[in-house]
Amino acid sequence: MAIKLLATISRIINVINTKKLSYQSRMDEILRLILNYLGVEQGSIMILNKKKELEIIATNKSELIGRCLALDANTVAGWVVKFQAPLFIPDISKDSRFKSRRGEYKKNSLLSAPIMSENKILGVINVTDKSADKDFFQDDISYLLKFSSVVLWLAVQQNLNAEIKKQQKTLKTRNQELRHQEASRAELSKLLIHDLKAPLSEIVANLDILSYTIPKESAEFLESARIGCERAVLMVSNLASIDKIEDGKMKLIKEELEVESLLNESVSNSKGVSLIKNIELTLEINEALPRIQADRYLILRVLQNLLTNGIGYSLSGTKIQVGCRKVQDKKQLEFHVQDQGPGIPEEKTRIIFEKYARITEKKNAILGTGLGLYFCKLAIDAHRGRIWVESTVGKGSKFIFTLPL
């Protein structure tokens, strides 16, 4: 008998693992194996659905599949769910706990066992009409409980699959929403870039013209206005370049560049804002440097972003050093912009080059969009270089990037 039991359980497990069969087909086959082992003619597997009803999942009467029964303690299945215990009834017609059964049953004896997951009931297995003149034995209860524990695997598996599908559907919907939002934001960004760039450039040009006509005592105010506009132009330029690089539409216009001249130009472009904040910009080049092939406009913008960022976070009276050196044993140049600002916490040094990442919540930070450093990374990556930061809180930061020779 034990060998037959193990063989039946083994067959049930094989059915559970047969993924090509539907859930319904597997339940039908499992019920058939259980009925065959117990020697009974009728039975059903019922699972609790989300409405807390017992839904008939498998039965030898196909017309009953899908039927849902309310949890009623006056029914056998309802009693098993309520008390979470197996039930053996020798003669249901003489059991006052239950209503008389409807349907074509040959005998009045029956077995019902709960399908349990720890202390939670998931369903019920019912069997009735023992073959020939045989009656149910006490051992049949333990056999049915063993089968119910195996059926549990499939019930739990189905619940997990249903939950996974639900989560996948939710995730798919959310991803579609995010893609739509991203597309809308990208479109808005392009419109803003297009609409802002021309008027900002015109304002800067007009401010330059005004600088020749206003009194010296007003020059400081004009310079502040010009610098503010240049920051806005830089921000818009960053947005435009980021969109092009991300879309794969940015083509590098490489030319042979003289490094010292490039660094001098970047320092000169940032002199105005550094003077207003009383920050000294210094250039450090201690060796003759070879020329490089690079996109002059993009590399100047990288340096300008790093300088603007450093000036924005540095205190009055401090210094910012810009420099470059040839890396020994490597065909590359290493540029750096080093400030004496507050420094960056270690956990943020790993994310500051990500899109929309910000170093601090400082409200007067010069480029508060979190896109300046992201642009720098995209531009350096496009040149097959590398960019990173070395920083100590309270002592300043050193932004470094390399370009191949």
Q: What is the secondary structure of 219-269 as a DSSP string?
A: HHHHHHHHHHHHHHHHHHHHHHHHHHHHTT-----EEEE-HHHHHHHHHHH
**C-alpha R_g of the chain:** 38
Q: Which of 271, 263, 352 is nearest to 299 (CA)?
A: 263
Report pLDDT for 104. Answer: 66
Q: Which residue has the tokens 């890396």?
A: 327
Where do the DSSP E strands lie in 77-177? 87-89, 110-117, 120-130
Could you count the other beta carbons within 10 Å of the beta carbon of residue 195?
11
CA 110 to chain CA centroid, Å, is 52
Q: Which residue has the tokens 């480029």?
A: 367
Report pLDDT for 381. Answer: 94
Strands 54-59 and 40-48, by their bridges, are antiparallel
Report pLDDT for 194. Answer: 64
Report pLDDT for 385. Answer: 96
Contacts (Cβ under 8 Å, ≥6 apart) of 68: 49, 51, 53, 54, 55, 56
Cα separations in angstroms, 60 against 22, 78, 176, 193, 243: 17, 20, 44, 69, 63
CA angle 81, 85, 88 (to 5 degrees): 105
Q: Which domains does the chain have, with CATH numbers?
A: 2-168 (3.30.450.40), 250-404 (3.30.565.10)
The parts of the chain modelled with pLDDT lower than 70 are 1, 100-104, 189, 192-194, 197, 358-369
Report pLDDT for 327. Answer: 92
Partners of 237 in the β-ladder: none
Could you count the other beta carbons within 10 Å of the beta carbon of residue 51?
8
pTM tops 0.75: no
CA gap 52, 134 in Å, rounded: 35
Report pLDDT for 363. Answer: 44
Report pLDDT for 148. Answer: 85
Report pLDDT for 360. Answer: 58
